[in-house]
Amino acid sequence: MNHYETLFVVKATLTQEEITAQVDKIKSVLDAEGAELLATNDMGMRKLAYPVQKNLRGYYTVLYFDAKGETIAELERNLKINEEVIKFLTVKYSNTKEVAQFNKLVEAAKRSIQVAEKVETPAEETAATETPVIETPATETADEATVSETAEESPATETAEA
């Protein structure tokens, strides 16, 4: 089995649920063909370098997997007929240097998923245990602040007009 990376871009007009459904559809094609999905990197919504099918933005996803050569033909066939996918690219990693780089990319994708999960969990815990903040009154009232700001601006505008 060979190492592959497939990057595909989904239209930005889709909702988050529809984007997730499209990514799951591509993953199911890989599963049906017997490929081993190693990691997924959801890069999110990004601006395209140039308009593609009148789209200026797209949702990028990278899949790292091991598969046979026949699997790629079926995967790309499904990507071509899917109207929601505007671009895709499949890269094969074959020699030892490329495979080493592939393994680094897979580990980095796995680490980013783990870090994202850890960040989401403590944020929810701290929100529940957060203490209320006591507000202190300002020394200057809003009317006084407005008067002092307009007084500072008016000499500058007079000199600019002169």
The 10s digit of each residue's pLDDT in 64-115 is 999 998 999 999 999 999 999 999 999 998 888 888 888 888 898 888 877 7
Structure-token match 């099918």, residue found? 53
Collapse the DSSP code of 57 into the 3-class scheme (helix H, G, I; strand E, B; otherwise coil) and give the result.
Answer: strand
> Going by C-beta distance under 8 Å and a sequence separation of 6 or more, which residues neighbour residue 66?
1, 2, 3, 4, 35, 36, 38
Kind plus residue range of the DSSP H or E element containing 84: none
H helix and E strand count, the chain: 4, 4
Q: Is the model's pTM score more than 0.85?
A: no
Residue type at position 13: T
pLDDT at 134: 52
Q: Does 162 have pLDDT greater than 70?
A: no
Kind plus residue range of the DSSP H or E element containing 45: strand 36-52
Task: Give per-residue pLDDT as tens, 27-64.
Answer: 999 999 999 999 999 999 999 999 999 999 999 999 99
Domains of the chain: 2-116 (3.30.70.60)
Collapse the DSSP code of 130 into the 3-class scheme (helix H, G, I; strand E, B; otherwise coil) and give the result.
Answer: coil
Least confidently predicted of 93-97, 119-123, 157-161? 157-161
